[in-house]
Each structure stands twice: as structure tokens, then as C-alpha cells.
Amino acid sequence: KAGVTQTPRYLIKTRGQQVTLSCSPISGHRSVSWYQQTPGQGLQFLFEYFSETQRNKGNFPGRFSGRQFSNSRSEMNVSTLELGDSALYLCASSLLTIDYEQYFGPGTRLTVT
């Protein structure tokens, strides 16, 4: 089975721009979660989607949004980028059963200048 894929792997944007990141989960996984990882704050939960519905949301401003498509692929969008949005964005998929584990993609490294 192919693992979780994320595109693009690296991205450089300037302040004020917007960005869209993509995540393709493992086949059969209907849950996709997004995390932001920075040296200072660690791994912070952004949101989780299951069957095209947002199931959980972290404490991020409304500039961060996401969606999930019928094939379980997910995108997250960040509008009006700020320098502090520079981070590694990780996507993880799971079966969302009892005692589920998450399978992570390699991440998208976003640099905002």
C-alpha cells in the first residue's frame, strides 16, 4: 500500500499570500488530520476530517481552513500568510477505529518571507 503523500514538499511564499497544501491518505483511510510543527510550539493539531466532515478543530485562527473530498484526499489552505506560519505541516491518515494509530506523510515545509 502506498503511504500518505503530501504535495508540495517545499514551498516559499511571501507575507500576505495564500497557500494550499494537499494530502492523499492511505487507501481506505477516511480520517485525515493536519498538524503544524514548529521548534517553539512543537506539534499542534489543526483539524481533522472524516468522510468530508470536519470532526475536530484545533485553536488556530480562521485563516487556516481545510476540506476533504469524496476520495478522502484533503487540502488545507492558509490565507494572508504571516511570518509565524513558517512551519512543517504534517498530514496523517487513520482508520479511526478504536485504538487507531496515525500514519504520517513526509510533510510540507512552508517558509514565509
Does 89 interact with another protein (rule: CB under 8 A)?
A: no
Does 85 interact with another protein (rule: CB under 8 A)?
A: no
Burial (CB < 10 A; 0-12, 13-18, 19+), residue 88, is: middle
Does 64 interact with another protein (rule: CB under 8 A)?
A: no
Among 8, 16, 84, 106, binds another protein (CB under 8 A): 106
Task: Using CB under 8 A, count the residues that bind another protein.
Answer: 23
Among 32, 74, 76, 105, binds another protein (CB under 8 A): 105
Does 98 interact with another protein (rule: CB under 8 A)?
A: yes
Residues of this chain that interact with another protein (CB under 8 A) are 4, 33, 35, 42-43, 45, 48, 55-56, 88, 90, 92, 98-107, 109
